Amino acid sequence: MTARATPPLLKRLNERAVLEAIRSGAPISRAEIARRTGISKPTVSLALRALLGQGVVRETEPSPGRPHYGAVFFEPVPEAALVLAVDVGTRFIRAALGDLAGNVRARRDVPFIGTELDSTIAAVASLCEELLESGDGARLDGAVVGVPGVVDPIDGSVSLASNAAGIEGVKFAERLEDALAVGVKLENDINLAALGEQWRGVARGVDDFLFLSIGTGMGAGLVLRRELHRGRNGAAGELDYAFVGVGPEVDPSAEAVATFAQDLAARHVGTTSLLPPFEPRPIFAAAREGDSLAREIVAEEARRIALHVLPVAAVADVELVVLGGGIGANGDLLLEPIRAHLAAAIPYPPRVEVSALGEAAVLTGALATGVQAARENLLTVR
């Protein structure tokens, strides 16, 4: 049965159309809004009156040098609602307070290595309270929180997050809502990183791409037809399981690379500046200096990363692969060999680039998700 277009519904639809025209064209006049939306000028005026009264839009000056003939121009009010974006990592908790324009009004990063749920929740709540002191908490729409692991879309519980701070097997979203006194959307951190790249990174305008994060662990976010692909259980992107039974010799994350480096060092002939425990940062630094052992390690790392890209590229035929994480950021050493491996293995290799957002990718994706939800909620709630 088709819903009837009742007057209140038509009013909301008109207000939404006018608001979207203002967001995309500000500063914009009443006449231009009518032209863009196809709505009559009297109806546009009614919608504008409502939006002005709600504090969603405001009058503003026209663009410099643009003829205005005495017309009144309008723009959206970015601070009509604020959103919290949080990245709960294995070593840091990062948080940002953003407005409806996607501007970051405040940001805090704190080192944190926790093993208990209560301490993690307390750390997130404390950081968010600090951010809200610099904003208008009364206008807070909600929070988007990125976590390692698979998030159940129904109850907000987290699984496959054994390296996270005590959040596995817990309805983490519910506990955070109690602590923050605001609605919380929980999402896998690498999924958010992919959305961040789509919004403001190298994946802008790309329909199909893979975000692959390699660091202390490995994770992937897959975007198909411009939509995040979560899969039936929310577990899309768990590439580790594509190589179950193969062994650790294909794992590109830091611990496996350190094991490989140690074995290779025992057989290496010649001098090297590398010493145990063979962490990524000194390995890549030494490779840039021409250290032969470090270069062998980096070459193997590129092969392992390419092996993880190949199944996705072959099945989904993605246009782009974005590398993130502490290891993936070393594009000057990794990009060309990864591209060569892919070109040799499949007929249509994807383009491979390094993340434009770096360690801010998860926060950026959380902010993008929060802004979209806040914009949808703004007219509905009001």
Domains observed in the chain: 7-76 (1.10.10.10), 80-192+361-381 (3.30.420.40), 202-355 (3.30.420.40)
User: What does the alpha-carbon distance between residue 207 and residue 318 come to, in Å, rounded to a whole number?
Assistant: 8
pLDDT confidence bin for 136, thresholds 50/70/90: low
User: What does the alpha-carbon distance between residue 1 and residue 356 come to, in Å, rounded to a whole number?
Assistant: 47
DSSP one-letter string for 255-266: HHHHHHHHHHHH
Tell whether the model's pLDDT for residue 381 goes beyond 80: no
Tell whether the model's pLDDT for residue 5 goes beyond 70: no
Tell whether the model's pLDDT for residue 51 goes beyond 60: yes
- Tokens at 33, concatenated: 């809004």
pLDDT in tens, 192-223: 999 999 999 999 999 999 999 999 889 999 99
Helices (H) and strands (E) in the chain, counts: 12, 15
Tell whether the model's pLDDT for residue 63 goes beyond 70: yes
SS3 48: helix
Q: Record the pTM.
A: 0.91
What pLDDT is stored for residue 246 in this prediction?
77
- Tokens at 73, concatenated: 């121009």
Average pLDDT over residues 376-381: 76
Four-point Cα dihedral 249, 250, 254, 259, nearest 10: 10
pLDDT in tens, 330-347: 999 999 999 999 999 999
Q: Lay out the sheet containing 184-188: strands in order across.
A: 104-111, 92-99, 82-88, 140-147, 184-188
Closest CA to 165 of 176, 181, 153, 154: 176
Check: CB of residue 182 under 8 Å from CB of residue 377. Answer: no
Residue environment code for 101-129, b if the CB has 16+ CB neighbours within 10 A, otherwise e: ebeeeeeebeebebeebeebbebbeebbe
DSSP state of 56: S
Q: Give me Rg for the CA atoms of the chain.
A: 24
